[in-house]
């Protein structure tokens, strides 16, 4: 599996490429979202634990980012999905 890493404000964000379209990110293929969208939501939205998905979710307006820490001490977060509610 291939991943794109983007560093912003001391946090590294990891985005998975889509298996069927390895040149495109999962969040783009599925939801037409870019890393900048997810990062903006992450830093500006409200974060709560989503026990149904077993991960963190950050919501800003009608946009949602699902994510989890790969390494919380080093501030490395995996972005699972980014989508409009």
pLDDT per position as a tens digit, 36-71:
999 999 999 999 999 999 999 999 999 999 999 999
CB 15 within 8 A of CB 27: yes
In percent, how much of the chain has pLDDT > 70? 100
Report, in this order, helix, strand and coil percent for the chain, each rounded to 5: 20, 50, 30
Predicted model pTM: 0.94
Residue 29 confidence (pLDDT) above 80: yes
Q: Which residues, at least 6 apart from 69, have a Cβ–Cβ distance to it below 8 Å?
A: 56, 76, 77, 78
């Amino acid at each position: 599996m291939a991943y794109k890493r983007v560093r912003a404000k001391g946090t590294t964000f990891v985005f998975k490429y889509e298996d069927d379209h390895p040149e495109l990110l999962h969040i783009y293929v599925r939801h037409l979202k870019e890393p900048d969208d997810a990062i903006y939501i992450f830093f500006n939205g409200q974060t709560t634990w989503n026990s149904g998905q077993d991960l963190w979710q950050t919501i800003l307006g009608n946009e949602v980012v699902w994510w989890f820490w790969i390494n919380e001490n080093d501030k490395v977060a995996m972005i699972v999905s980014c989508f409009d509610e």
